[in-house]
Amino acid sequence: MSDFDPTAYGASGIAEEYDDLYETEWETGPAVDRIAELARGGRVLELGIGTGRLALPLLERGLEVHGVDASAEMVARLAGKPGGDRIPVVIGNFADADAGEGFSLVVLAVNTIFALPDQEAQVACFANAARHLAPGGAFVVEAWIPDVGAFRHNRLVRPRIMGTERISIETVELDPVAQMMRTTQAVLANGSVRLYPADHRYAWPAELDLMARLAGLHRESRWADWGGAPFTGESRAHVTVYRRSDPGS
């Protein structure tokens, strides 16, 4: 069990510069295209909606979008953006929060499943996602493949942003028994240093597949990215679609 409190993530101050830190790291366009396709015009629920990177473009496409997030600060950033006040968001733990039912698609992107502190919470998250789905609805999960071979003595230091005005370096401590990566991102800018801690309880794709089966979901598709590249032994991430196992669905 991790001592990290996910509700404190936005309160650490990262909400104010979250978009700047991560705007070039993720491929938003292909993700929005794929999510819109999977939603089939129906209602979408994003778990870990954050500042609205995916939700706002989906809203612009005419989809009804709802969200759940543990950080009130991140949600406040979302609400302050154009259209953000039109997205209903529940503040709470997405492993058990109730945002209604009858959604065509539930989305859990960019490793957010790993923000939950242990396997029990992750299993509960899959069950909660299934409860929110309409018959035949789908749950799409994006996550990286843990690269434990990159660690030396269970430690890793890696640069994230290298620039003349801002530098971001991440330190990671690996606990292979608990499948936990304890990270601290150090951001150096404007003569100051800011530290943003976050823990990730990682899970392998096969483990996530079993969580889905326990929740009454079956794996429909798995790609290496949102664009649909084949998933292979060399893939460093996956996007997996799980569908509710209803008769006739």
* Per-residue pLDDT tens digits for 41-53: 999 999 999 999 9
pLDDT (tens digit per residue) in 165-185: 889 999 999 999 999 999 999
- Averaged pLDDT, 103-112: 97
- What lies within 8 Å, CB to CB, of 216 at 6+ separation is 130, 244, 245
Residue 48 DSSP symbol: T
Average pLDDT over residues 63-70: 98
Q: What is the pLDDT of residues 192-232, one digit of tens each?
A: 898 988 999 999 999 999 999 999 999 999 999 999 999 99
Coil/strand/helix, residue 55? helix
For the stretch 119-135, pLDDT in tens is 999 999 999 999 999 99
Q: In Å, how far are 9, 120, 144 from 228, measured between CA atoms?
A: 31, 30, 15
pTM (two decimals): 0.91
Task: Check if the beta carbon of residue 101 is closer than 8 Å to that of residue 131.
Answer: yes
d(CA 129, CA 121): 12
Say if CB 35 and CB 64 are below 8 A apart. no
- CA 13 vs. chain centroid, Å, equals 19
Token couple for 245: 């196992």
> Which stretches does DSSP call E strand in 27-152?
44-47, 65-69, 89-91, 103-108, 133-144
Domain boundaries, given as residue ranges, for the chain: 6-146+203-244, 148-199
**pLDDT confidence of residue 112:** 95
Mean pLDDT in residue range 84-90: 98
CATH topology of domain 148-199: N-terminal domain of TfIIb (2.20.25)
Distance from C-alpha of 20 to C-alpha of 243, rounded to nearest angstrom: 34
Homologous superfamily of 6-146+203-244: Vaccinia Virus protein VP39 (3.40.50.150)
Q: Could you tell me the pLDDT band of residue 164, with boundaries at 50, 70 and 90?
A: confident
CA distances from 24 to 53, 105, 191 (A): 12, 26, 23
